[in-house]
Amino acid sequence: MKRPLAPISRFAFAALICALSGCASAPPQRPFSGYCVADHGCYHVLPSAVGYTATGVASWYGTGDAGRPTASGVPFDPNAMRIANKVLPFGTWVRIRNLRNGREAVAMVDDRGPFYGGRIIDATPAVARRLGYFLDGTAPVSIAAIPPGQLSAAQREAAQADEQVAVEYVRQHPHRLLAEAGHFALRGVIDITSTGFHLAVGVVWDTLEVGYDILRHL
């Protein structure tokens, strides 16, 4: 079923025309605070994790991704206490509780996902084992962001180190407006770290979908 288009402002229409024509203009003046994933939509990244809580399903992703860059650029480490989340800033530490067995774990956000209904985190095998759902694959969990003042020195250092990697990763992989095989990479989209640092990231989308989804989030 087709989705109705939102009203198009003069700026939004210009951005759409630019995207569809493949022009290489400057980034939009009002960057979208988030990112988009092909076939899964666009997501707003929270400017701060303070007070964040959520309940949903946790999954974990496999050891075959070891060493590959996560969304933040940090290499995936199956043995690290790390998770992927759609909206929490990179470097956010959270407390996770398995609602099935009561086991808890503390982990840091360094990746994006999972993009499947009902799931709120994708965890490393290390986190899944700590929470006791590695063999089951998924588990119902609650998560709560840990206030910055309650972080240990080691946790703060880990978050700062990951942020530095993310900044360097973005610098080494600049995103510009391109047209490749009917898809576009659109500038002016940003991700966020736990200290509020903004990272410019790109969007790869189908020709028609890029216009709709970017306009819908401006």
Q: CATH homologous superfamily of domain 53-150?
A: RlpA-like domain (2.40.40.10)
Q: Which residues of 25-38 are buried (b: 16+ CB within 10 A; e: fewer)?
A: eebbeeebbbbbbe
Element (H, E) at 212: helix 207-217
Reported pTM: 0.75
Q: What is the arithmetic mean of pLDDT over 115-137? A: 94
pLDDT for position 2: 33
Q: Taking 50 as the threshold, does the pLDDT of residue 210 lie above it?
A: no
pLDDT for position 41: 77
pLDDT for position 12: 42
Q: What is the pLDDT of residues 59-102, one digit of tens each?
A: 999 878 889 999 899 999 999 999 999 999 999 999 999 999 99
Q: How far apart are CA 158 and CA 93, in angstroms?
A: 10
CA pseudo-torsion sign 142, 143, 149, 150: positive
Give residue limits of the domains in the chain. Answer: 15-45+166-217, 53-150
- On average, the pLDDT of the chain sits at 78
Q: Taking 90 as the threshold, does the pLDDT of residue 120 lie above it?
A: yes
Q: What is the arithmetic mean of pLDDT over 161-188? A: 64
- Give the lowest-confidence range in 16-30, 92-106, 160-174: 16-30
Q: Taking 60 as the threshold, does the pLDDT of residue 42 lie above it?
A: yes
- Give the lowest-confidence range in 8-22, 50-64, 81-95, 130-144: 8-22
Axis-axis angle for helices 207-217, 10-21 (nearest 10): 160
